[in-house]
A and B are shown apart, each in its own frame.
Chain A
Amino acid sequence: MKVLLFGITREITGQSRINVPEHAGINTVKALKGWLGQQYPALRSLSSLAVAVDSEYAQDEDTLTPEQEIALIPPVSGG
């Protein structure tokens, strides 16, 4: 599963895209956030961290599959 990164999450991880290994067994939004927080503890200090699936905000209990476009959404600040 690939996860797209923007803004401060791209800076924290040093990557614009992370590959989550299959053996990590990630299949929900909540599990993905937990796994990323372990890999990159600085993500846990952000004001908020959302996950988007196919351009829509996802809920913690939503299921993730490899064919979806998954992205990490740090606090937005447009305008």
Chain B
Amino acid sequence: MLIKIVEHIDLNEAYAYLQSPEAGAVNLFVGTVRNHSKGKDVVRLDFEAYDAMAIRQMEHIANEAFDKWPLVKLAIVHAVGAKDPGTPVVVIGVSSAHRDASFEACRFLIDELKKTVPIWKKEFYEDNSVWVNAHP
């Protein structure tokens, strides 16, 4: 498994890691910074992680994915720090013999990451900023 927290996402590194002669499918999901949120222009996002726990929780969801689907390789890489619109902030990658498993596992991993992995983002607008999801 390739699981880590980085300053900058390297898509080629993730893809190179996932390649395997056993795989007939490589699925990559790339989450990027959107320049708008709830009708406001977003100028920047700041990401912060509790590194040790984030890695542990990413390992848990990776192990769940390996239990659920016949996967060859799996990568989860998340960025931290200040990110401009358009910048990749997370890459989830899975390789498998057939495409169904890698599509489904990729979807599962990003959905679970958003629920359990201790990483936080703060959205900066022209006039203020908020920690996403913090308040009801």
By a beta-carbon cutoff of 8 Å, the part of chain A in contact with chain B is 4, 6-8, 11, 45-47, 52, 55-57, 69, 71, 73-79
Contact = CB atoms under 8 A, between A and B. Distances in A.
Nearest to B59: A55
Most chain B CB neighbours (cut-off 10 Å) among A4, A55, A69: A55
Contacts, number: 80
What's the interface size class on B, roughly? Answer: 20 to 34
Given A47-B136, A78-B119, A55 B53 contact: yes
Nearest to A73: B118
Given A6-B48, A77-B131, A52 B53 contact: yes
A76 B134 contact: no
Interface in B14-51: 31, 47-50
B120 interface: yes
A7 B133 CA distance: 11
Contacts of B131: 7-8, 11, 74, 77
A56 to B, nearest CB: 7
